[in-house]
């Protein structure tokens, strides 16, 4: 009977990685506070099919299967997080927020934030045509990395990684542009007959060309959440999100 490790590796063939590239991977892991037992699995997550074809490596050595797995793991973890964190949110709204979190532009932005593009093994043609900056490619690499981390360390490690990267963006209101938290809060307050919802801009920060607004939300005069944003509308949405999270925590206790 094959071991779990052998079954996991399948027909994968090792990618040659020079010392400079290895150090860049180690720098990434240090930054993310992660470790990998199987370095080749990590390298595979960053191996594009164009590189495998060009180098004639063969086997399942590119990141496409890891991307497939990572996509499913990412959806599961984000779904679980939203279910636990937003206990007042309805199914349709959770689906909408999850879609915003796992969509290509969101994942590509995260990959850019951690400079995934510089680590990708690409064929020369793909590299010369800007492959390292393509959102589709970067989003795929992010999913493949999640898949590799899941195989190497398990679901708990993935959840910890997402807590430091994805979940914190949800907490700080990165998706208020696609979510109507104000309407959700209004509906929640109406169902609970808790009173009237009002918003107040309490601060404006930063230079004129990069202004940030701070908003507070009140329910019957009581302060329930504070949020910030580049516009007054986004600040109010973030404040509403914070209030919903506050009520979710109350329902949990």
Residue 45 backbone phi and psi in degrees, to 5: -60, -25
CB atoms within 10 A of CB 9: 19
- DSSP for 4-32, written as a single string: HHHHHHTT--PPP--HHHHHHHHHHHHHH
3-state SS record for 127-165: HHCCHHHCHHHHHHHHHHHHHHHHHHHCHHHHHHHHHHH
What residues are annotated to the active site? 71, 143
Give me the residue label for tokens 């969101």: 106
Q: Check whether 27 is labelled as a binding-site residue.
A: no
Chain position carrying tokens 């990685």: 17
Is residue 143 annotated as involved in ligand binding? Answer: yes
Burial of 252 (0-12, 13-18, 19+ CB in 10 A): exposed
Q: Closest Cα to residue 223, out of 248, 204, 195, 252?
A: 195
Query: Is 177 part of any known ligand binding site?
Result: no
Q: What are the binding residues?
A: 67, 140, 143
Task: Provide the annotated binding site for Mg(2+).
Answer: 67, 140, 143
């Amino acid at each position: 009977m094959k071991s779990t490790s052998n079954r996991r590796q399948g027909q994968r063939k090792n990618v040659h990685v020079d010392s400079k590239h290895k150090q860049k991977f180690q720098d990434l892991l240090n930054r993310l506070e992660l470790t990998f037992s199987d370095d080749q699995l990590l390298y595979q997550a960053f191996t594009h099919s164009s590189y495998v074809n060009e180098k004639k490596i063969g086997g399942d050595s590119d990141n496409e299967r890891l991307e497939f797995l990572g996509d499913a793991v990412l959806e599961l973890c984000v779904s679980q997080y939203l279910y636990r964190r937003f206990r007042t949110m309805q199914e349709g709204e959770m689906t909408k927020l999850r879609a915003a979190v796992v969509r290509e532009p969101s994942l590509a932005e995260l990959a850019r934030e951690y400079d995934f593009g510089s680590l990708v093994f690409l064929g020369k043609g793909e590299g010369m045509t800007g492959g390292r900056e393509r959102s589709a490619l970067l989003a795929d690499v992010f999913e493949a990395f999640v898949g590799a981390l899941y195989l190497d360390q398990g679901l708990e490690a993935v959840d910890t990684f997402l807590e430091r990267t994805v979940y914190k963006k949800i907490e700080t209101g990165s998706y208020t542009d696609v979510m109507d938290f104000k309407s959700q809060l209004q509906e929640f307050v109406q169902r609970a007959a808790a009173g009237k919802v009002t918003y107040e801009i309490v601060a404006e920060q930063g230079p004129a060309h990069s202004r940030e607004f701070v908003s507070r939300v009140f329910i019957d005069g009581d302060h329930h959440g504070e949020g910030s944003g580049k516009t007054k509308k986004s600040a109010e949405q973030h404040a509403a999100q914070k209030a919903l999270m506050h009520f979710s925590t109350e329902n949990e206790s």
